[in-house]
Amino acid sequence: MFINFIYLAKSTKKTMLTLTLVCAITFLLVCSGTFFPYSSNPANPKPKRVFLQHMTRTFHDLEGNAVKRDSGIWINGFDYTGMSHITPHIPEINDSIRAHCEENAPLCGFPWYLPVHFLIRKNWYLPAPEVSPRNPAHFRLISKEQTPWDSIKLTFEATGPSHMSFYVRAHKGSSLSQWSLGNGTPVTSKGGDYFVFYSHGLQASAWQFWIEVQVSEEHPEGMVTVAIAAHYLSGEDKRSPQLDALKERFPDWTFPSAWVCTYDLFVF
């Protein structure tokens, strides 16, 4: 109907030019922030959603040595404006602290709560002191064995809070053939890494699971990289002084979800 209207107009060229001009002006006004997209009005709330994760990351090499350790508040905004409207209120959150992707780590080396890394291209990482949950997570390799069908079976054990994320990246010349999770068939998230979300009740035994890695060629830097993130979503472990202070500075038209987490990466 709209196309037919254009052709029925007295001047198709002028009509198209007018529509194009209106669209261009509207686009520029939206991008410049003239039309403020958020509101804290209870009758018509339009909050900006933000995730704040105060985390400590530890990266281990093939020998099990800790080769990198850092801490900070990882910030994700879930819409196209990023932090542009937040920066005037919290100046230290700006593009100078854009998060750097760890190319050799699954999902860029960050504790994603959901596998949506391919949808969110911009995040921010504000340096902060280490976190120290009273119920720290523990992750260890229980066994490594060769199977009769020439794959390597790695069995792990993890203990920690009620919500944890497990990430896997197979190295060049390796692939995951099966695991003890779900229906037994590993499925990658977009980008080729594997993401597993695990949760349990208040009383739970240690989480034990295994993965099988098919190796077609030896690799001096190991056959697989795995990481586990522990998300503290309740109780005192959920909070930190730095996280509480930052959360309080967000304007009332935002809805910041904040929690503490730890991230540990290993190579096998």
- Residue 252 tokens read as 């009332």
Pairwise CA distance, residues 256 & 247, whole Å: 7
Half-sphere exposure of 87 (CA within 13 A, CB side): 10
Binning pLDDT at 50, 70 and 90, where does residue 121 land? confident
Q: Are strands 48-60 and 254-267 parallel, antiparallel or unpaired?
A: parallel
Q: What is the mean pLDDT of residues 225-248?
A: 97
pLDDT digits (tens, 9 = 90+) for 255-266: 999 999 999 999
**Of 29-38, 41-50, 65-74, 211-220, which one has max mean pLDDT?**
65-74
Q: pTM of the entire structure?
A: 0.84
Neighbours of 136 (CB within 10 A): 14
Strands, E assignment, 101-192:
123-127, 138-146, 151-159, 163-170, 174-179
Pairwise CA distance, residues 112 & 232, whole Å: 13
174 three-state secondary structure:
strand
Neighbours of 77 (CB within 10 A): 22
| Secondary structure element (H or E) that encloses residue 67, with its range | strand 66-77
User: 20-34, 103-117, 154-168, 184-198: which range is least confident on average?
Assistant: 20-34
User: 17-21, 85-89, 148-152: which range is least confident on average?
Assistant: 17-21
